[in-house]
Amino acid sequence: MFRSVLICFVAAVLMLVPAVGHGAPLYPSADPDPFYTQPEDLSGTEPGDVLGVRAMPPLAMFPDTTVTLIQFRSTNSAGEPIAATTTVLQPVNQPADAPVLSYQHIINGLGVRCAVSKVLYTDDPNLMVREGVAWNIALRRGWTMVLPDHLGPDFAYGAAKLGGQVTLDGIRAVRQVEQLRVRHSRVAMAGYSGGGMATAWAAALQPDYAPELELAGAAMGGVPMNLVSMLEGLGFGSHPVFGLALAAAIGLEREYPERFPISEQMNASGLAARASIADACTNEILGAGAGRGILDFAATTSMIDDPQARGVVEENSLELYSGTPTMPVFEWHSPIDGLIPVDAITATTQRWCAAGTPVVSESTPTPDHLTAAVLGLPSALRWLDARLQGEPAPSTC
């Protein structure tokens, strides 16, 4: 079973490798903006400590809203300190301690221009049509929106546990920024697909990673709960979204360079493909992998039986993580999802229910992953509104 998973990763990575040699991970190009630079020494900092605050220009798509960029200290998957960023949208004249929603945007990307804090200042149609509409609803309700760049400074796409830690540390940081006046606000989290994965990991990690944070709840949709079963589903044939598997392989190698050296498995076509999307976002990544498959890019598959590589995939599969959220959870998904294994979602939420987590699970009337994102939002927003008002959480367990 796991052989097919790692072969999928091998194929994925092989598409994206640059001409730097087989052994070296390919990291994103440096951000020219010094605000995003990693500080030389973070040894004296704690997770969530604020490292920098910058007032940003207003955005026409979010009228009467201030924009603030925050750099803060977080932790990578090896337990080492890193600097991460989050963007705060706040209604003008917001009263102190009004509700806060940390929204984990979908980031299918490997480069700095894919960060939410960057995409906000582009004409990205996905943001304008899908996510931006929901954010405006939240802002009109008087909520402060927190939008973390949850892939971390190396854009480690696929490193799901990292996304949860960055999300929690972003909430910690926002509470420390005095001018935002949210230190005592009720806080909830939400996200869909890759953003739902960061949200779900944050909810599960919170009891141990950030026990001092009191969170009202987490709404998550279309969550890839098990990367092992998800990648197995790709098989060896061609797939229209194979580029996402490639990107995940590259991202995991960036986060686990010694344990997941996927570049060593790539052939020349794979190395060239990796180079072409090393700084790419969704459309370029999908284009690079469309109609391709694992066997197109693998020079060798010797890593398939490597227990360290298997461990990396398992560590980022929430179904296999023993911790459970103590906050209420709202979860929605398509009953027949072509991208996400629904069985893994069901198994995970059932385990959370058995542990005492109040879970509301909703199946949307569509077989399409992206349509489910839109159809589930009204119910998710109603659920979030009730949690942020302090109402008791229901459960369908």
CA distance 81 to 84: 10
Mean pLDDT of the chain: 88
pLDDT for 288: 79
CA pseudo-torsion sign 188, 156, 283, 37: positive
The domains located in the chain, with CATH, are 1-397 (3.40.50.1820)
Q: Which residue has the tokens 């509104």?
A: 385
Query: pTM for this structure?
Result: 0.92
Strand 217-221 versus strand 187-192 pairing type: parallel
> Edge-to-edge, what's the strand order for the sheet holding 187-192?
50-56, 65-75, 81-91, 144-148, 100-104, 187-192, 217-221, 329-333, 359-363
pLDDT tens digit string along 122-179?
887 665 556 677 889 999 999 999 999 999 999 999 999 999 999 999 999 999 999 9
279 within 8 A of 110, measured Cβ to Cβ? yes
Q: What is the pLDDT of residue 206?
A: 98
Half-sphere exposure of 247 (CA within 13 A, CB side): 33
Q: Collapsing DSSP states into helix, strand and coil, what is residue 319?
A: helix
What is the DSSP-derived secondary structure letter of residue 29?
P
Q: Please identify every stretch of the chain with a pLDDT value under 50, giving residue numbers as ranges.
A: 1-21
DSSP 265: G
> What is the structure's pLDDT at 234?
65
